[in-house]
Amino acid sequence: MSGDVEPLIVTALNNNKLDPIAFSPSNRYDVIYYDPLKGQSRYTWATNDDKGQIYRRITKNNNDIPYDVRAIRFRRYRVTLPNAWQGSTNYAVGNMVYRSSYIYRAMRANISEDPTGDITNTWRKIIKTSSFVGCTSSLQVFGSEGQFSVSCSLESFYDFYTFDDGSGVNQVDSSNVYNNVIIDNLINNFRALNNSIFFGSTVYDNIINNGFENNTITNHFFRNTIAGNFYENTIGFGNTNIASNSPFAHNTIGTNFHNNITAGSFNTNVIGHNFYGNIIDYIFEVNNIDNNFYNNTVSDYFYGNSIGSHCANNLINSHFEYNIVNIEFTNNIIGRFFYYNTFGQCFKYNKLDGYATSAASGSKFNYNDFGNGIQFSSFKDWGMAGETQFKGNYTVNVLKAESGRVYAQYYTNSNTFSTSTIILS
């Protein structure tokens, strides 16, 4: 959707050709690329009434956008509220409610647990009830799917600029909106609008390639390199981001990526420090995470990842495989299929349900709760060779005595000492 007509001054190169770069008296520092033809064969947004197209504008803050970023606006819709939270209702995992000014999702079955209380393991804040979001033809919010579904209403909408303060005021000249480059969005050789909005006033140093479509991003978005196929994401609303509809892939993400919901195929990423409080529904693979991966929920297939230090308080339902955790793997709950992982100095206070084969090399391997079929091998700094078997539902301590001998101590669920076995001396 376009705004007001902007007067332009163009220069004739000869009798039949105009200079593609135009001058705007009202925005004299902009570099404007103008096509005088109606452009219906070149631009998907062109109409018969157009007097040519601004097909690229570089603003004074070096925002290089492949359409008229000062005029084009995109429509967003108000979220549809689910049922209000009721203290007497039994809620199952995945149920959605609204309470006060937010929509919440149940993280576990519960009754009478108020979402606004300090119960982050029971409810997860999803999105503000006042949010305007992108909406599909089936009235689902861009980025929501399956059990994370959030709906929207076509009857309540507003039109926003690419860089918007959330109330319809263009932020393209804001001091914290700069050095953003968006490459042409080409569809069958037509230039197409990307229908993406950045809410807020801190958007800078982003390079965004073809295939960035139908995204709604709020709060801070900066220093990202997006290679392509980043589409239908709703990121940064309230305390939670929804980034789904695969693929959300091949991204470089800086520090502080937290409180996100990723519904599928979030893979091959390089992530800095502080990745926490995320819900990842399916396939988190081949990622490189510097430090501090904690308080995350991964439903299935967490494999091929490298984590610098501090992997803690995570719930991973199944298939934790081929990962490297350099320092501190603690307080995690892992379901079935815990295979071929390598751990550093500290592996403790973890619960493994069963079917595991992994290696731990460190001085602290204790206070872990193992199910059937657990097998750890290669305690490298203890000079151990061969395998160690822990079978049965015990709490197991692995200890190294001053003599250099290694013991496994087994405790029953009642914390009664059961037996102690020398593993290797």
What confidence tens digit (pLDDT) does each residue in 289-334 have?
Answer: 767 777 777 767 777 777 777 777 777 777 777 778 777 788 777 7
Look up the pTM and report it: 0.63
22 domain residue, yes or no:
yes
Per cent of the chain over pLDDT 90 is: 22
Establish how many alpha carbons lie within 13 A of residue 203's alpha carbon, considering only the half-sphere containing its beta carbon.
28
Residue 150, CA distances (Å) to 141, 146, 234, 313, 352 in order: 6, 9, 11, 27, 33
Short-list 303, 241, 305, CA closest to 277: 241
Short-list 157, 202, 200, CA closest to 180: 202
* Model confidence band, residue 122 (pLDDT cutoffs 50, 70, 90): confident
What is the domain extent for residue 45? Answer: 12-72
Short-list 257, 282, 281, CA closest to 269: 257
Dihedral of CA atoms 219, 159, 104, 292 in degrees, nearest 10, equals -20
387 pLDDT above the threshold of 70: no
Work out the average pLDDT over 109-135: 80
Dihedral of CA atoms 312, 314, 316, 322 in degrees, nearest 10, equals -30
Count of all residues that appear for the chain in the document: 425
164 domain residue, yes or no:
no
Predicted pLDDT at 406? 55
What CA–CA distance (Å, rounded) separates 168 from 1? 13
Tokens describing residue 413: 């669920």
Work out the average pLDDT over 391-399: 53
351 domain residue, yes or no:
no
CB 423 within 8 A of CB 387: no
Counting the structural domains of the chain, the total is: 1
20 domain residue, yes or no:
yes
Short-list 225, 227, 196, 193, CA closest to 210: 227
106 domain residue, yes or no:
no
What CA–CA distance (Å, rounded) separates 352 from 397? 14
210 domain residue, yes or no:
no
What CA–CA distance (Å, rounded) separates 194 from 210? 9
Strand pairing of 346-348 and 73-79? unpaired
Helix residue ranges, H only, 245-368: none
Predicted pLDDT at 19? 92
401 pLDDT above the threshold of 60: no
375 domain residue, yes or no:
no
What CA–CA distance (Å, rounded) separates 168 from 163? 9
Dihedral of CA atoms 280, 286, 291, 297 in degrees, nearest 10, equals 20
Short-list 118, 113, 119, 115, CA closest to 105: 115
133 domain residue, yes or no:
no
DSSP reduced 3-state for 12: strand
